[in-house]
Amino acid sequence: MVIPLITPATEGALSVPYRAPLDVPYKLFEQVAWLLHEHRQARHTCRRKLGCFKQALLTLVHLRKNETFSHLGAGFGISQATAWRYVDETLDVLADWAPGLHAAFTGLGAGDHVLVDGTLTPIDRIAADEPYYSIKHRKHGMNVQVIARPDGTPLWFSRATPGRTHGLTAARAHGIVQACLTRQILVLADRAYQGAGATFRTPYYHHREQPEHYQQFNRDHTRLRAPGERAFAQLKSWRLPRRARCSTRRISTIVHTLLTCSCSG
């Protein structure tokens, strides 16, 4: 038996298939499939290359593992263009189910408090794309504001804005400051939001030079804000937001899709 020699010229053309598990709840997978089924029924497009369950699996694999469309197409027996269309369609369907800012505050009122913070979704950009460069993180990305419950459960993800956008500027632009003031909801945030006023509470600057009760306030403030990192952990558990290769115009849709997945899962 003659074994062919793999040379650098032909090595890239070889493809070795393998099977791997997807660590998402089956309840989420089933719910995405049924939403796609309703979407197809409404548009009368039931005959497709992939069924609803396979399309749901295709999208969740893309979100969870950040696979390229060429790899997804090869794994599901469809073309790269078809894989892109299926994923894009599913993202739009799921993003429509993400709660808006005012819907996220349902059940909250005076006396309640939430956690507000921002995160950066890294993107592929060159040095000339200055609006997308975050000086704080020293990389290009998109700014996403997150509102979470005191236990870290995400309530709302904002639309993505260029990474250079300051946290306070983004909070005002998205209407977070005004919405919390209207409902008299206390907001715990870091120093980036100092000057927001309204119901925002931020740590004191130069607390080591301040009286002891200021230092104690900062310690308590940090302890209460700590669970907010869980909301970021849920967002970044999906690999796609860790390094987005898509157009910046689609990142908001992806973020809202992940909010729907977080609420459903």
In total, how many domains does the chain have? Answer: 2
- Residue 33 and residue 131 in one domain: no
Tell me if 222 is assigned to some domain.
yes
- Residue 150 and residue 202 in one domain: yes
pLDDT at 209 (0 to 100): 64
Angle at 101 between CA 95 and CA 107, to 5 degrees: 115
Neighbours of 44 (CB within 10 A): 7
- Residue 179 and residue 237 in one domain: yes
pLDDT at 263 (0 to 100): 79
pLDDT at 126 (0 to 100): 66
- Residue 116 and residue 157 in one domain: yes
- Residue 106 and residue 62 in one domain: no
Tell me if 11 is assigned to some domain.
no
pLDDT at 29 (0 to 100): 93
Tell me if 9 is assigned to some domain.
no
- Residue 32 and residue 142 in one domain: no
Per-residue pLDDT of the chain (265 residues; tens, 9 = 90+): 444 444 454 445 556 776 778 888 999 999 999 999 999 999 887 678 899 999 999 999 999 999 889 989 988 999 999 999 999 999 999 999 999 999 999 888 777 899 999 999 998 876 667 788 888 888 889 999 999 999 999 999 999 999 999 999 999 999 999 999 999 999 999 999 998 888 999 998 765 666 778 888 888 999 999 998 899 888 888 998 888 888 888 999 999 999 999 877 6
Cβ–Cβ < 8 Å for 91, 251: no
Place of tokens 């599901």: 76
Mapped onto helix, strand or coil, the DSSP state of residue 202 is: coil
- Residue 88 and residue 107 in one domain: no
Tell me if 261 is assigned to some domain.
no
Residue 156 — φ and ψ, nearest 5°?
-160, 140
- Residue 63 and residue 126 in one domain: no
Domain that holds residue 148: 101-245
Specify the pTM: 0.85
Give the span between the Cα atoms of 202 and 177, in whole angstroms.
Answer: 13
Tell me if 10 is assigned to some domain.
no
Spacing of C-alpha 137 from chain mean position: 17
Give the span between the Cα atoms of 147 and 155, in whole angstroms.
Answer: 6
- Residue 147 and residue 210 in one domain: yes
Tell me if 226 is assigned to some domain.
yes
- Residue 83 and residue 111 in one domain: no
Tell me if 13 is assigned to some domain.
no
Give the span between the Cα atoms of 217 and 238, in whole angstroms.
Answer: 34
pLDDT at 95 (0 to 100): 95
Tell me if 229 is assigned to some domain.
yes
- Residue 117 and residue 241 in one domain: yes
- Residue 87 and residue 58 in one domain: yes
